[in-house]
């Protein structure tokens, strides 16, 4: 009789745990699916404003993470988090980078449509040999201006432009091959925002 009871106990408890775990998993997956569906719907109805909000949030949170995790700041009496810098990256991510990329990627997609090797190569060449070397000085100048260091722009660009441009090619050439080949047009700015987390960590050194 005792042996029968012992064998029966696990049979009662296990299904309850499995059912609870299964319900939790389904609830989590349903939440993320609904959130993603809402985001893609907003991209269709309000593409620019959605990209502005997403780009600003990703850039700001990325800079906060960079300051707290990646940077080893040994200066005394300096706050753990530079709120002004995070605000600058949030503003530029939302109101400079995202709108510009929205227009630029739209232009590339309309003029050079398709995902063939030739189309991707042409878009990549225009992006990395034309757009990137031109936009980088705009971005760096914007950062310095918002930091209150506008007078440093000429010297900073002379000293860092070529170094930053070469580093840009190391990150963005492979990233943009993937972006132009595999990512749907409406999602390309979001993809660039995510890659920008790594890129902004590098730029913070300048």
In this structure, the number of other CB atoms found within 10 A of the CB of residue 48 comes to 14
125 and 190 in a single domain? The answer is: yes
114: left (phi over 0), alpha (psi -120 to 50) or beta: left
The pLDDT score that the predictor gives to residue 106 is 98
187 exposure class (CB count in 10 Å sphere: 0-12, 13-18, 19+):
middle
φ, ψ of residue 148 to 5 degrees: the values are 85, 20
The two structure tokens encoding residue 64: 């906060």
10 and 106 in a single domain? The answer is: no
Q: Which domain holds residue 17?
A: 1-45
The DSSP-derived string for 27-40 is HHHHHHHHHHHHHH
Smallest Cα–Cα separation from 181: which of 100, 123, 107, 106? 123
Separation CA 90–CA 116 (nearest Å): 35
pTM over 0.85: no
108 and 94 in a single domain? The answer is: yes
147 and 179 in a single domain? The answer is: yes
The two structure tokens encoding residue 193: 């925002």
21 and 36 in a single domain? The answer is: yes
66 and 131 in a single domain? The answer is: yes
Q: How many domains does the chain have?
A: 2
Mean pLDDT per 10-residue section of the chain, whose length is 206 residues: 47 49 66 92 97 96 88 66 95 98 98 98 99 97 97 97 96 98 97 92 73
149 and 68 in a single domain? The answer is: yes
6 and 102 in a single domain? The answer is: no
41 and 55 in a single domain? The answer is: no
The pLDDT score that the predictor gives to residue 79 is 78
82 and 99 in a single domain? The answer is: yes
165 and 119 in a single domain? The answer is: yes
The pLDDT score that the predictor gives to residue 203 is 78
Contact 177, 120 (CB under 8 A): yes
DSSP state of 130: I
CA angle, 171 then 160 then 125, to 5°: 40
76 and 174 in a single domain? The answer is: yes
């Amino acid at each position: 009789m005792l042996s029968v009871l012992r064998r029966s106990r696990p049979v009662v408890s296990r299904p309850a745990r499995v059912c609870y775990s299964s319900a939790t998993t389904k609830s989590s997956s349903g939440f993320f699916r609904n959130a993603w569906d809402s985001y893609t719907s907003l991209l269709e109805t309000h593409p620019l404003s959605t990209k502005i909000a997403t780009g600003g949030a990703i850039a700001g949170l990325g800079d906060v993470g960079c300051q707290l995790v990646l940077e080893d700041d040994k200066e005394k009496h300096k706050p753990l988090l530079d709120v002004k810098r995070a605000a600058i990256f949030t503003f530029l991510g939302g109101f400079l980078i995202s709108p510009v990329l929205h227009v630029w990627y739209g232009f590339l997609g309309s003029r050079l449509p398709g995902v063939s090797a030739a189309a991707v190569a042409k878009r990549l060449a225009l992006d990395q040999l034309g757009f990137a070397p031109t936009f980088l000085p705009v971005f760096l100048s914007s950062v310095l201006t918002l930091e209150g260091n506008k007078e440093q722009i000429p010297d900073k660009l002379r000293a860092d432009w070529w170094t930053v441009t070469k580093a840009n090619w190391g990150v963005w050439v492979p990233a943009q091959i993937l972006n132009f080949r595999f990512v749907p047009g409406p999602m390309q700015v979001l993809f660039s925002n995510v890659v920008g987390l790594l890129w902004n960590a590098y730029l913070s050194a300048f």
